[in-house]
A and B are shown apart, each in its own frame.
Chain A
Amino acid sequence: MSVLVKNILRFVLLILVQVFVLDKIHLHQMVTPYIYMLFILWMPFQLGRMWQMILAFALGFALDSFRHNPGFHASACVLIAYLRPFFINVLIPQEGADTNYDEPSIKSMGGFFPYLVYTGLLIIVHHGWLFMLEAWQIGNVWYFIIKTFFSAIISLLLIVITELLFNRKQQFKTNTV
């Protein structure tokens, strides 16, 4: 399965799961679990940053279209797609890891903890940005913080479970091509 097909499938599946499964779940009025960002988190290392942003926009826009209020998720996704390389550069264990592996994962990030930090940070940024856009004005700060925190925790749990369920086999690419 080529990278392109894999990603297309991932895109479609994640959006479908998000829209038809997770959006139906109302844990609490404050908390909606989000999993569709996995597409952005798992995008290949080698993809150009512009392409990453465009794909992220497309993903967010797709979800927004299902929810009939465009803009929110597209904006949040573009933001984390823009920030992703910085986090990867900081958290990647050794030089050249991003050339040895295809995409971010526990193995390629060099352990569970860095990968958790990477995922958690991006999720918190995504949720925070999203809720800020939904509020659209500086109002109840505590409410905003708590909402972001709890939603991020739930989403992170989901994502970690998904990660454990669908164990992606990351091959170590030798550069002796």
Chain B
Amino acid sequence: MRNIFLFIRRYSNFIFFLLLQGFCVYLIVHYNRYQNAVTTAYMTELTGKVNTQYDRVEDFFHLKNENKRLATENERLRNLLRQNFESPDTINKIVTDSIPSDTLGTHRKWLYKMAKVVANSVTSQENYVELGRGSNQQMKKNIGVVDANNAVVGIITDVSENFSVAMSLLHKDSHLSGKLLKGGEIGTLNWDGKTPNIVSLVGIPKSAKVAKGDTVITSGYSNAFPQGMKIGYVYSVVSDKTTNNYLIEIKTAADFYNLQYVYAIDNLQKEELNNLMDKVKKQNQ
């Protein structure tokens, strides 16, 4: 305290000078419009800068909350996205075929039912394709599934209310029959569980003319697929020394890595055929 008084006494003149000058500056700024305007502008600029800096620092401390807020907002917005509202597909694609229909319209055989692929795998030994269409949307068991380019994907094995599961071609237990487009020889498609998109066609005799790049299609003998759906293209041909058959590898026409929309092909005459077969079997017993 004593030092403060000493300081004031010692520098009293200077302090008084500063006081007077301060008063003069106050007068200048207060009573002169130009100086007032300049000072106001300058001070505004200065305080603006200071406030900006302060705001930056403050922002830094608010980052966490801000991130949280943005995250919740993102969540909310993402939940509004259309792709999250995946209603089961109900579209039916009408395929006009050459079968003339009578007035009752009961001669249609195949009805395509679009379905969105919900889940799909290629990496395991038993691959399934999950579809967003179920029994509420006229999905049935044991009907074939093709992709948008009519390339075979698999067969529906399970159907729930709004979903269905198709056994993919890339499945150990999948045994579709395939036909060579050129020669018409029929074999069975198997998958060894190693390479996706490559399946083997067994049962083709060595008498058949097979070349690399030949097309393999569905035979039409099963109730699952109409005749002539692409299965794949011959990838390699090896003649088996032990049997009378070729070992043929086929690159599938459907790209199982990238399935977006598929069509399930409903066979509308399947029941009639099945009933007929049952009848024949009964008669033979």
Q: Would you give the shortest CB distance from A114 to chain B, in whole angstroms?
A: 24
Instruction: Decide if A71 touches B39 in the complex (CB within 8 Å).
Output: no
**Taking the complex as formed, is A75 at the interface, i.e. its CB lies under 8 A from any CB of chain B?**
yes
Q: Tell whether A137 pairs with B25 under 8 Å between CB atoms, given A71-B32, A78-B17, A78-B20.
A: no
Q: Tell whether A136 pairs with B39 under 8 Å between CB atoms, given A50-B13, A82-B17.
A: yes
Residues from chain B with Cβ under 8 Å of A53 in the complex: 13, 16-17, 20
**Taking the complex as formed, is B274 at the interface, i.e. its CB lies under 8 A from any CB of chain A?**
no
Residues from chain A with Cβ under 8 Å of B27 in the complex: 64, 70-71, 74
Residues from chain B with Cβ under 8 Å of A64 in the complex: 27
Number of B residues near A (Cβ < 8 Å) is: 21
> Among the listed A50, A75, A82, which residue makes an inter-chain contact with B25, where contact means beta carbons less than 8 Å apart?
A75
Number of A residues near B (Cβ < 8 Å) is: 19
Q: Which residue of B lies closest to A60 (CB)?
A: B24
CA distance A67 to B268 in the complex (A): 108
CA distance A60 to B35 in the complex (A): 18
Q: Which residues of chain B (23-56) have a CB below 8 Å from chain A?
A: 23-29, 31-32, 34-35, 38-39, 42
> Among the listed B21, B29, B34, B42, which residue makes an inter-chain contact with A79, where contact means beta carbons less than 8 Å apart?
B21
Instruction: Decide if A50 touches B16 in the complex (CB within 8 Å).
Output: yes
Q: Which residues of chain A (60-74) have a CB below 8 Å from chain B?
A: 60, 64, 69-72, 74
CA distance A78 to B21 in the complex (A): 7
Q: Which residues of chain B (1-29) have a CB below 8 Å from chain A?
A: 12-14, 16-17, 20-21, 23-29
CA distance A133 to B29 in the complex (A): 10
Q: Which residue of B lies closest to A78 (CB)?
A: B20
> Among the listed A57, A71, A78, which residue makes an inter-chain contact with B28, where contact means beta carbons less than 8 Å apart?
A71
Q: Would you give the shortest CB distance from B32 to chain A, in whole angstroms?
A: 5
Residues from chain B with Cβ under 8 Å of A50 in the complex: 12-13, 16
Q: Chain A at the B interface: mostly helix, strand, loop or mixed?
A: helix
**Taking the complex as formed, is A173 at the interface, i.e. its CB lies under 8 A from any CB of chain B?**
no
Instruction: Decide if A69 touches B20 in the complex (CB within 8 Å).
Output: no
Instruction: Decide if A49 touches B13 in the complex (CB within 8 Å).
Output: yes
Q: Tell whether A71 pairs with B17 under 8 Å between CB atoms, given A78-B24, A136-B39.
A: no
Residues from chain B with Cβ under 8 Å of A79 in the complex: 17, 21
Interface string of B71-106 (1 = CB under 8 A from A): 000000000000000000000000000000000000
CA distance A104 to B213 in the complex (A): 118
Residues from chain B with Cβ under 8 Å of A49 in the complex: 13
CA distance A75 to B26 in the complex (A): 10
Instruction: Decide if A75 touches B21 in the complex (CB within 8 Å).
Output: yes
Q: Would you give the shortest CB distance from A77 to chain B, in whole angstroms?
A: 9
Q: Which residue of B lies closest to A70 (CB)?
A: B27
Residues from chain A with Cβ under 8 Å of B26 in the complex: 71
Residues from chain B with Cβ under 8 Å of A136 in the complex: 28, 34-35, 38-39
Residues from chain A with Cβ under 8 Å of B25 in the complex: 71, 75
Q: Tell whether A69 pairs with B21 under 8 Å between CB atoms, given A49-B13, A53-B16, A82-B13.
A: no
12 contacts between A and B (CB under 8 A): A57-B24, A70-B28, A70-B31, A72-B28, A74-B20, A74-B23, A74-B24, A74-B27, A75-B21, A78-B17, A133-B35, A136-B38
- Minimum-distance CB pairs A-B, first 5: A71-B28, A71-B27, A75-B24, A70-B27, A82-B17
Binding site for B on A (CB under 8 A): 49-50, 53-54, 57, 60, 64, 69-72, 74-75, 78-79, 82, 133, 136-137
Beyond the given A50-B13, A75-B24, please list 16 additional residue pairs across the A-B interface where CB-CB is below 8 A. A53-B13, A54-B20, A60-B24, A69-B32, A70-B27, A70-B28, A71-B24, A71-B26, A71-B28, A71-B29, A71-B31, A74-B24, A78-B17, A79-B17, A82-B14, A136-B28
